[in-house]
Amino acid sequence: MTTQRIDRKFAQLKQENRAGLVTYMMGFDPDYETSLEILKGMPKAGADIIELGMPFSDPMADGVTIQLAANRALKAGSKTKDIIKIVSEFRKEDDVTPIILMGYYNPVLHYGVEKFVADAVAAGVDGVILVDLTPEEEGEFTQYAIPAGLSLIKLTAPTTTEERAKLVLKEASGFVYYISVAGITGGKSADITSIDAALTRLRKVTDLPIAVGFGIKTPEQAKDIAKVADAVVVGSAFVNIIGENLDNKPSVSTKIHQLVSDISSGLR
């Protein structure tokens, strides 16, 4: 399946004439069982694609919200194999919704690149976003990922020049993740005019769908960006709910799924 799920989802979104909702959640946050419950309920609540974070102790692109989530997951005992296992469990009930693993390259190297790709694909992972893997160094990953059909989804930013974008997106597949602001996750939001202009430039160098993320926290913001993007990525707003409800874990998944539903409704 792998890339096929992503391609089919964007074909469906085009047919429905709407932007998709990409939801982010940290795997194993605040624990394995709660994380799996949140993940399983995402599609029914309205998520079109799900990014599942791989906890890492030294992130470079994440704000406080995601850093705290990674720390909670690591404290709960999370390993990379556990994140892959969560996907495998999810696939027992859902073989349609694309799942993207998002994180940093160090855990992949530690796991073993070839084994990571094989295990991820076997579990039902469709693609990966490796924030700190540069195009100059990605060959050791793509030599296994491309034959396996595992998408390497690339990040571009307001500071990415057209020349650099061509290099960055050379081996990209699935979709492109456009970071709407220069900075970290959960920060300020960019205005729609600058995003529209950036996506117009980006579409000159890629035919892949473009998802816009960073700083999108409300249904109103998501609806606004959906006017110019192929998909909208929301993450910190969901992760915040976990951090705010650690004393009442049973309520976490319900509150997150409600917010997913609220945002999704605005995009349909």
| Catalytically active residues, by annotation | 51, 62
Q: Give the start-to-end residue ranges of the domains of the chain.
A: 3-267
Say if residues 250 and 31 touch (Cβ distance below 8 Å): no
Task: Name the band, by pLDDT with cuts 50, 70 and 90, for residue 2.
Answer: low
54-71 residue pLDDT tens: 999 987 777 889 999 999
Q: Bigger pLDDT: 57 or 215? A: 57
What's the first-to-final CA gap in the chain, in angstroms? 26
Which residues is 52 bridged to in the sheet? Answer: 25, 101
Average pLDDT of span 165-182: 91
Q: Which two tokens stand for residue 215?
A: 């700083």
Q: Specify the DSSP class assigned to residue 134.
A: -
pLDDT at position 1: 42
- Span of 47-51, 111-115, 184-188 with lowest mean pLDDT: 184-188
Q: Looking at domain 3-267, which of 3.20.20.450, 1.10.3720.10, 3.20.20.70, 3.40.190.150 is its CATH number?
A: 3.20.20.70
Single out the residue of 42, 16, 22 nearest to residue 178, CA to CA: 22
23-58 residue pLDDT tens: 999 999 999 999 999 999 999 999 999 999 999 998
Q: Is the pLDDT of residue 15 over 70?
A: yes
**% of the chain beyond a pLDDT of 70:** 96
